[in-house]
């Protein structure tokens, strides 16, 4: 079916904001193996997690209920920017000369500029309800930390962010965002001012903070089941919007993949329709899904978190310093890992320079400057669209435009001037 | 009338995008005085302007036609982000405890992050139609230059931007934006690498470029009548959206004012309803409307442009280096100047620190980080809302959220840490 009108953006009304999250757990091809206690290696129970998370989030981590109602106060904040637009990338299609129809879900319109606030708001809400006064978290370049800082400001929670020292010193702008929303930001590791830090050290600092203070819980921006659950609003909205566009279903759903939350958010609601291909794009410098092993591993370098069943490069893996900081994680979401292991989802690795080439082509045709992470998805989309051209097939491609690149322009400067290293 | 529902964003369908611009010229309280030739001081005719602009823009500069059709190819690009949302700032209202209802038009959702592309796209289109191969322009911090670079990429025009050298060296990110969209950017003045530059030198460089090359026209991002004309889509959409919100009309329309294009865009379509107050907010460090003289003056420092009838601080006025770079202009749009002179529009000046205080209050309640220019409008809105509270009146306040602050975070850093000088 080819539409003859020129509609570019398919917009849902505010009343069409989803009122429940879709839970993928009961529908996975194989049941997830449980997380294990880092000390005993026995399955963890709710009580083990209670020092870190409020009970509703622990329940969401484990429940088999197919749908979870979104609380009203969460909806009240999500509607500051949701439903987000579904945009047909007509100008990119024309530039590629492809018969494919390309649609993207624009998550860059949130206050923090990415999909991250979808779960930050929910986590801040449940913590505020439980009487938590303060949240601690880690952040690399600052995407997640800024989303949580925004969310905490909405519920009058204090927010303490441990930011990887190298980013804290060299990429100050997301620190400024966090501080503007009222968060307190320190460089990690806190106990060694000469150490450049890593996501591993920052998780350790944040978990230690939460574990040792009664008024404080810990908050994580990806990987965990409840995080992917909160992100499913993306795919649920996209499904309705594709119907508005006259599309029966996407042939392929594409997302970039680091910890898995933006990909899970758009892909999980399409999981049960096996005619829809699901594809993860990851950096070839941190090829968790394509070159990692599926096994139990820690979420952090120091081995303080529960062991999760996932694809991993090893918790001591140190990825090169590529620009898509949000994709530099040694492990991956257990849900995404399970989908790849059971071959329900495909995974592809691509080098940094190819993702910037795709991002710039998108910027010059569609106008918007993508985050480097999002550039991985766009690389995948362009390759899929060219494959459709080769095959002479009208395929429908859906992807998640997970964030804008206004705070990543130094990376574009490197690319524009030939200074971008590939690995 | 108080609505009882909780709708936050009032969204028009793509088919409701305005198809004609509103021309304020025939409706002004007094006819505009004509621009004068810088040499002869006689009124300029179309032939005088032909080396710089294509004929349709020259006609739009002077026409008395009440409406001008928007060309289809311009609409095709505007619909990448238009109609923009009208948002009710409910959380800000609550924080202020005001009975006022506050609505803002969110122009930050454009690819360049501001209202500027509304006219950049139209100017690039008319130039491409006229066979122009290349556009030259000036830019201060880069808001306008990045909008024109985006627009030129859509019509395969070369784009040459003369950027004030101090910004070129100290604020590189909008230069990167421009280059990513394919523009060529150089520091101005081009003939003196030790000079920090000013908007005046950059205009001179850009005009000289266009005047001396057959393939090149000049493009200006504010002040001129045709620029304000192209921006009226903002107010035309807002009018429809206020009706959706159940509001008969705004009591007051507020905008920040530098050259006048964002304020004109939202305010002019309400000009004929004298029950609607129109208010310009400008920096007290560059108080063109509140302390300037109404007289003929040059648009640039060197005196190369026609003389315009406007409020001006003198074309050799050098404003302090405040963060709202887009508001540091010695003159003002003749249309806005005429409205202030005839008392149809009010003007208020405010100090920088008060505008950042307002911007941060907005960020913590509504989530979005405004551009420093937009902070001036928000200062005005908060003052109007507090006046309504004082009077115990349910006033309807409309303002233009002209751009986001993701590329201005250094200014927030200064404010957050007490380093912001007031003048």
pLDDT digits (tens, 9 = 90+) for B58-91: 999 999 999 999 999 999 999 999 999 999 999 9
Q: Quick one: A242 and A365 in the same domain? A: yes
Query: For residue A289, what are its two tokens?
Result: 């899904």
CA–CA separation, B295 and B309 (whole Å): 5
Task: State the virtual CA torsion across B50, B55, B56, B59 in degrees, nearest 10.
Answer: 70
Q: H or E stretch including A293?
A: strand A293-298
CB atoms within 10 A of CB A317: 17
> Which residues share a beta bridge with B164?
B188
Closest to B278 in 3D by CA, of B199, B222, B342, B324 = B342
Can you give the CATH number for the domain in which B216 is found?
3.40.50.1100
Query: For residue A306, what are its two tokens?
Result: 């529960």
Across the interface, whether the CB atoms of A360 and B180 are under 8 A apart is answered yes
Taking the mean position of all CA atoms in its chain, how far away is CA B223?
A: 8
Closest to B316 in 3D by CA, of B299, B338, B333 = B299
Q: Quick one: B265 and B353 in the same domain? A: yes
CA–CA separation, B353 and A31 (whole Å): 57
The contacts of residue B202 (CB under 8 Å, 6+ apart) are: B138, B139, B140, B162, B163, B164, B188, B189
In a domain, B66, yes or no: no
Q: Quick one: A358 and A267 in the same domain? A: yes
With vertex at residue B277, the alpha carbon angle to CA B30 and CA B223, rounded to the nearest 5 degrees, is 55
Q: How far is CA A61 from CA A23, A66, A226, A281, in A?
A: 10, 13, 5, 25
Q: Quick one: A275 and A394 in the same domain? A: yes
Dihedral pair phi/psi, residue A215, rounded to 5°:
-90, 0
User: Is residue A122 within 8 Å of A95, Cβ to Cβ?
Assistant: no
Across the interface, whether the CB atoms of B179 and A369 are under 8 A apart is answered no
Across the interface, whether the CB atoms of A8 and B80 are under 8 A apart is answered yes
In a domain, A41, yes or no: no
The residue count for chain A? 423
Residues of A contacting chain B (CB within 8 angstroms): 6-9, 11, 13-14, 76-77, 79-81, 87, 91, 109-111, 113, 150, 153-154, 172-173, 176-177, 179-182, 360, 363-364, 366-369, 404, 406-407, 409-410, 412-413, 416
Smallest Cβ distance to B176: which of A9, A13, A416? A416
CA–CA separation, A220 and B265 (whole Å): 43
- Return the DSSP state at B15: G
Helices and strands in chain A: count of H runs, count of E runs: 17, 15
User: Is residue A294 within 8 Å of A360, Cβ to Cβ?
Assistant: no
With vertex at residue B292, the alpha carbon angle to CA B286 and CA B293, rounded to the nearest 5 degrees, is 160
Q: Quick one: A386 and A400 in the same domain? A: yes
Q: Quick one: B82 and B127 in the same domain? A: no
Query: For residue B283, what are its two tokens?
Result: 């920096």
Q: Quick one: B174 and B203 in the same domain? A: yes
In a domain, B394, yes or no: yes
Q: Which of B207, B225, B243 is at the close of a domain? A: B225
Smallest Cβ distance to A180: which of B80, B87, B416? B416
How many Å lie between the alpha carbon of B124 and the closest alpha carbon of chain A? 14
Smallest Cβ distance to A366: which of B80, B363, B410? B80
Residues in chain A closer than 8 A to B110 (CB atoms): 367
Give B196: exposed, middle or buried? Use CB within 10 Å, 0-12, 13-18, 19+.
middle
How many Å lie between the alpha carbon of A62 and the closest alpha carbon of chain B? 31
Q: How far is CA B160 from CA B166, B175, B182, B187, B410, in A?
A: 18, 11, 10, 11, 26
Largest distance between two CA atoms of chain A: 62
Pairing of strands A293-298, A184-188: unpaired
- Return the DSSP state at B52: T
Dihedral pair phi/psi, residue B146, rounded to 5°:
-70, -35
Query: For residue A328, what are its two tokens?
Result: 């530099």
Taking the mean position of all CA atoms in its chain, how far away is CA B180?
A: 23
With vertex at residue A377, the alpha carbon angle to CA A395 and CA A249, rounded to the nearest 5 degrees, is 30
For chain B, residues with pLDDT lower than 50 are: 1-3
Size of interface A-B (CB pairs under 8 A): 118
CB atoms within 10 A of CB B194: 6
User: Is residue B366 within 8 Å of B108, Cβ to Cβ?
Assistant: no
CB atoms within 10 A of CB A341: 17
Q: Which residue in chain B is spatially nearest to A417 when comparing CA positions?
A: B179
Task: Report cis status (omega within 30 of 0) of the bond before B83.
Answer: yes
How many Å lie between the alpha carbon of A365 and the closest alpha carbon of chain B? 7
Q: Which of B200, B225, B250 is at the close of a domain? A: B225
Query: For residue A305, what are its two tokens?
Result: 């978190």
Q: Quick one: B163 and B257 in the same domain? A: no
How many Å lie between the alpha carbon of A414 and the closest alpha carbon of chain B? 9
Residues in chain B closer than 8 A to A81 (CB atoms): 367
Closest to B385 in 3D by CA, of B376, B396, B375 = B396
Across the interface, whether the CB atoms of B111 and A360 are under 8 A apart is answered no
Q: Quick one: A190 and A284 in the same domain? A: no
CA–CA separation, A371 and A314 (whole Å): 26
Q: Which residue in chain B is spatially nearest to A83 when comparing CA positions?
A: B9
Across the interface, whether the CB atoms of B176 and A80 are under 8 A apart is answered no
CA–CA separation, A404 and B391 (whole Å): 42
The overall pTM is greater than 0.90: yes
Closest to A185 in 3D by CA, of A156, A227, A226, A152 = A152
Q: H or E stretch including A401?
A: strand A396-401
Tally the domains of chain B: 2
Residues of B contacting chain A (CB within 8 angstroms): 6-9, 11, 13-14, 76-77, 79-81, 87, 91, 109-111, 113, 150, 153-154, 172-173, 176-177, 179-182, 360, 363-364, 366-369, 404, 406-407, 409-410, 412-413, 416
Parent domain of A122: 24-34+50-59+116-225
User: Is residue B323 within 8 Å of B372, Cβ to Cβ?
Assistant: yes
Q: How far is CA A205 from CA A208, A212, A302, A358, in A?
A: 5, 11, 10, 36
Across the interface, whether the CB atoms of A367 and B111 are under 8 A apart is answered yes
For chain A, residues with pLDDT lower than 70 are: 1-5, 422-423
Across the interface, whether the CB atoms of B109 and A113 are under 8 A apart is answered no
Q: Quick one: B158 and B306 in the same domain? A: no
How many Å lie between the alpha carbon of A34 and the closest alpha carbon of chain B? 37
Across the interface, whether the CB atoms of B176 and A409 are under 8 A apart is answered yes
In a domain, B381, yes or no: yes
Burial A131-170 (b: 16+ CB within 10 A, else e): ebebbbbbbbbbbbbbbbbbbbbbbebebbbbbbbbbbee
H helical segments located in B222-278:
225-231, 233-244, 261-267
Dihedral pair phi/psi, residue B413, rounded to 5°:
-60, -45
Taking the mean position of all CA atoms in its chain, how far away is CA B295?
A: 22
With vertex at residue B96, the alpha carbon angle to CA B94 and CA B101, rounded to the nearest 5 degrees, is 65
Condensed to tens digits (0 to 9), the pLDDT of residues A372-414 reads 999 999 999 999 999 999 999 999 999 999 999 999 999 999 9
Across the interface, whether the CB atoms of B367 and A80 are under 8 A apart is answered yes
Block residue for tokens 């090149």: B216
Smallest Cβ distance to B8: which of A14, A177, A368? A14
Pairing of strands B20-22, B101-106: unpaired
DSSP per position, B242-255: HHHTT-S--SEEEE
Interface test with A, best of B16, B370, B409, B414 (most A CBs within 10 A): B409
In a domain, A65, yes or no: no
Residues in chain A closer than 8 A to B409 (CB atoms): 172-173, 176-177, 180, 407
Look at residue B423 in the predicted model and tell me its pLDDT.
53
Give the 3-state secondary structure of residue A308. Answer: strand
Across the interface, whether the CB atoms of A409 and B153 are under 8 A apart is answered no
Q: Which residue in chain B is spatially nearest to A356 when comparing CA positions?
A: B180
Look at residue A317 in the predicted model and tell me its pLDDT.
86
- Return the DSSP state at B404: B
Give the 3-state secondary structure of residue A143. Answer: helix
In a domain, A79, yes or no: yes
Query: For residue B335, what are its two tokens?
Result: 């249309």
CA–CA separation, B320 and B323 (whole Å): 9
Smallest Cβ distance to A180: which of B150, B177, B360? B360
In a domain, B87, yes or no: yes
CA–CA separation, B28 and B268 (whole Å): 10
Block residue for tokens 């020259």: B58
Interface test with A, best of B368, B401, B404, B418 (most A CBs within 10 A): B368
Helices and strands in chain B: count of H runs, count of E runs: 17, 15
- Return the DSSP state at A1: -
- Half-sphere exposure of residue B188: CA atoms within 13 angstroms, side-chain side: 27
Q: Quick one: B245 and B157 in the same domain? A: no
Q: Quick one: A395 and A360 in the same domain? A: yes
In a domain, A300, yes or no: yes
Q: Which of A225, A245, A271 is at the close of a domain? A: A225
Smallest Cβ distance to A176: which of B87, B113, B416? B416
DSSP per position, A340-385: HHTTSEEEEEE-HHHHHHHHHHHHHHH---B-HHHHHHHHHHHHHH
Look at residue B421 in the predicted model and tell me its pLDDT.
75
Residues in chain A closer than 8 A to B168 (CB atoms): none
């Amino acid at each position: 079916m080819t539409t003859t009108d020129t509609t570019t953006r398919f917009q849902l009304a505010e009343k069409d904001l989803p009122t429940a999250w879709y839970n993928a757990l009961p529908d996975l091809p194989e049941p997830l193996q449980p997380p294990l206690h880092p000390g005993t290696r026995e399955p963890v129970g709710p009580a083990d997690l209670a020092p870190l998370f409020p009970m509703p989030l622990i329940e969401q981590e484990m429940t088999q209920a197919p749908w979870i109602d979104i609380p009203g106060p969460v909806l009240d904040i999500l509607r500051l920017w949701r439903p987000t637009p579904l945009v047909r990338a007509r100008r990119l299609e024309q530039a590629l000369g492809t018969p494919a129809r390309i649609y993207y879900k624009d998550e860059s319109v949130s206050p923090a500029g990415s999909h991250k606030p979808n779960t930050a708001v929910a986590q801040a809400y449940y913590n505020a309800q439980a009487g938590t006064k303060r949240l601690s978290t880690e952040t690399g370049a600052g995407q997640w930390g800024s989303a949580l800082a925004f969310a905490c400001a909405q519920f009058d929670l204090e927010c303490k962010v441990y930011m990887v020292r190298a980013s804290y010193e060299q990429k100050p702008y997301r620190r400024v965002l966090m501080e503007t929303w009222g968060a307190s930001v320190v460089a990690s590791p806190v106990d060694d001012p000469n150490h450049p830090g890593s996501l591993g050290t920052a998780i350790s600092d944040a978990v230690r903070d939460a574990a040792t203070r009664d008024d404080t819980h810990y908050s994580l921006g990806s990987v965990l089941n409840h995080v992917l659950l909160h992100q499913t609003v993306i795919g649920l909205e996209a499904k309705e919007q594709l119907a508005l566009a006259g599309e029966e279903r996407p042939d392929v759903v594409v997302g970039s993949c680091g910890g898995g939350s933006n990909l899970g958010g758009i892909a999980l609601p399409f999981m049960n329709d096996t005619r829809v291909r699901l594809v993860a794009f990851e950096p070839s410098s941190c090829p968790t899904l394509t070159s990692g092993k599926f096994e139990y591993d820690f979420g952090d370098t120091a081995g303080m978190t529960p062991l999760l069943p996932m694809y991993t490069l090893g918790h001591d893996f140190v990825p090169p310093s590529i620009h898509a900081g949000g994709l530099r994680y040694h492990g991956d979401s257990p849900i995404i890992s399970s989908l790849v292991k059971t071959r329900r989802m495909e995974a592809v690795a691509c080098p940094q320079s190819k993702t910037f080439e795709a991002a710039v082509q998108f910027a010059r045709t569609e106008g918007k400057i993508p985050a480097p992470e999002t550039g991985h998805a766009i690389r995948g989309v362009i390759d899929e669209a060219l494959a459709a051209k080769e095959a002479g097939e009208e395929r429908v491609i859906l992807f998640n435009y997970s964030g804008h690149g206004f705070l990543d322009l130094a990376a574009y400067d490197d690319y524009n001037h030939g200074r971008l290293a590939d690995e």
